[in-house]
Homo-oligomer: A and B are copies of this chain.
């Protein structure tokens, strides 16, 4: 398949990503930029963006970028672990996410995601491990050296 653009991926987003409002800005096999506009529905009781929102964004951008990259090899991507540290609250504006790939192995990819506020301060960081597995419908895997 041709590599889809960020706009094409956005148009295809369903379910939870649509519920919390994920917007991809750019997406390659080694770097993703995305954002979520803060609204009341994304907050925890004290008025801060809920920690689960950061974890959700990280999960999605790392999974999507990996899934797109391995699709033509008959493989799929699934979140294996998501480890998020919260450094500084965000209360309004935009949650900016920047994911960079640390590792591309045969069976796991590892990504770092940095979250920043509108003043570009680091507010949270996530380390995502993505499992890469054969797709049930993927046909025989390509030969590997």
Chain A interface (Cβ within 8 Å of chain B)? 12-20, 40-46, 48, 50-53, 55-57, 59-60, 63-64, 67, 76, 78-89, 102-103, 105, 107-108, 110, 112, 122, 125, 127, 129, 131, 133
- In angstroms, Cα B106 to Cα A88, docked, is 11
Beyond A82-B84, A102-B125, A108-B131, 19 extra complex contacts between A and B, CB < 8 Å: A14-B45, A15-B42, A16-B42, A17-B44, A19-B19, A19-B41, A44-B63, A50-B56, A50-B60, A52-B53, A52-B55, A55-B82, A55-B84, A56-B56, A81-B129, A83-B83, A87-B102, A102-B122, A103-B122
Q: B59 touching A50 by the CB < 8 A rule?
A: yes
Known contacts A59-B55, A60-B52, A131-B107: does B81 contact A83 (CB below 8 Å)? Answer: yes
A44 shortest CB reach to chain B, Å? 6
Closest-by-CB residue of B relative to A13 is B45
- In angstroms, Cα B117 to Cα A87, docked, is 30
Q: Please give the count of copies of this chain that the complex contains.
A: 4
Residue from A20, A89, A105 having most chain B Cβ neighbours under 10 A = A20
Closest-by-CB residue of B relative to A104 is B87
A34 shortest CB reach to chain B, Å? 13
Name the B residues within 8 Å of A20 (CB-CB): 16, 19, 52
